[in-house]
Amino acid sequence: MIATIKSTLNAQSISQLIDEVGNILEAGEGCWKVEYGKRVLFLIVDAEHDRVRAMTPILKEEDLEEDDLWDVMEANFDRSLDARYAIGDGVLWSVFLHPLNDLSRTLFLDGLDQVVTLANNFGGSFCSSDIVFGSE
C-alpha cells in the first residue's frame, strides 16, 4: 500500500498562496484583505479553533429584497457547494468556511473561486459553480 501524504495549509502557507494568486491589500496576523477575481475578499485563519474563513460582501442587508432572501436560502440548499450566502454586520456575504487541519491548496483555491462565483451570481443563477443539486 502506498501512503498518501496530505499537505495541509497553515496561516503562513495561506499567506504565500494568496500572494501568488491575488493582490494583498492589507494583512494582519491571520487575516488578509485581498483582491481576487475582481472582488475584495477578507480571509481569516483561526488556528486555535481550526477554522479558515473567506468572504466577500455583496450588498447591504437593508437593500436585500424579500424575494432575494428566499432565493439565497434556496441556493444555500441546492445551488451552492462549499460557499454559502450569509448575513452578518448588516451585510449579505458570500462565505467559505472550512476546518484548517484538512484544508488543501486545491480545496482552498476552489473555495475562493466559489466565493467569487456565488457573489457574482447573486440576482441571477445564485450558483457557486455549474453543479446544481435538486430539480433546477
**In the chain, domain spans:** 11-120
The CATH architecture that domain 11-120 belongs to is 2-Layer Sandwich (3.30)
Residue 118's H or E segment, with its range, is: helix 105-120
Beta bridge partners of 98: 52
What is the reported pTM? 0.88
Backbone angles phi, psi at 67, to 5 degrees: -65, -40
* pLDDT tens digits along 27-74: 999 999 999 999 999 999 998 999 999 999 999 999 999 999 999 999
CB 50 within 8 A of CB 101: yes
CB 105 within 8 A of CB 7: yes
* pLDDT tens digits along 5-22: 456 787 888 889 999 999
At a CB cut-off of 8 Å and minimum separation 6, what does 108 contact? Answer: 9, 14, 17, 52, 98
Res 85: pLDDT? 98
* pLDDT tens digits along 62-74: 999 999 999 999 9
